[in-house]
Amino acid sequence: DQQVKQNSPSLSVQEGRISILNCDYTNSMFDYFLWYKKYPAEGPTFLISISSIKDKNEDGRFTVFLNKSAKHLSLHIVPSQPGDSAVYFCAASADTNAGKSTFGDGTTLTVKP
């Protein structure tokens, strides 16, 4: 049973437009949700997170929205830049299992100039 799902394997957007990456989860025990970005031949790097007590967290061009009732979160990138082209992983963790995260399969974002 996959507890964290990213249903879109890939997404292509034009430079300057909004990118929206989606993530769904099934485990209601998850307390924290994180997004990581991965370039080819590099390890993932942390991008932004949100606690389950919030519904929005913003950091520059990146905003994460959480809808707990729908068990859904999304990452918005505005405006998108070619350097944002990467694989984005959604991850979730439970406070009772601090440190261990469950990852989605990833979405490959391509931002076209």
Partner 1 sequence: DVKVTQSSRYLVKRTGEKVFLECVQDMDHENMFWYRQDPGLGLRLIYFSYDVKMKEKGDIPEGYSVSREKKERFSLILESASTNQTSMYLCASSLQGRQGHYEQYFGPGTRLTVT
For the CB of residue 57, give the shortest distance to partner 1 in the complex, in Å: 8
The angle subtended at Cα 30 by Cα 27 and Cα 34, nearest 5°, is 120
49 lies in the binding site for partner 1 (CB under 8 A):
yes
Residues whose CB is less than 8 angstroms from the CB of residue 25 and which lie 6 or more positions away in sequence, other chains included: 3, 4, 5, 33, 71, 72, 73, 92
Q: Which is nearer to partner 1, 15 or 105 (CB)?
A: 105
105 lies in the binding site for partner 1 (CB under 8 A):
yes
For the CB of residue 95, give the shortest distance to partner 1 in the complex, in Å: 8
Near partner 1 by CB under 8 A: residue from 23, 89, 109, 111: 89
74 vs 81: CA distance, rounded Å: 18
36 lies in the binding site for partner 1 (CB under 8 A):
yes
51 lies in the binding site for partner 1 (CB under 8 A):
yes
Q: Residue holding tokens 């300057």?
A: 16
Which of 59, 50, 42, 58 is closest to 23 using CA atoms? 50
Considering only the stretches 10-18, 64-72, 75-83, 97-105, report the one whose residues sit in contact with partner 1 under the rule CB under 8 A: 97-105
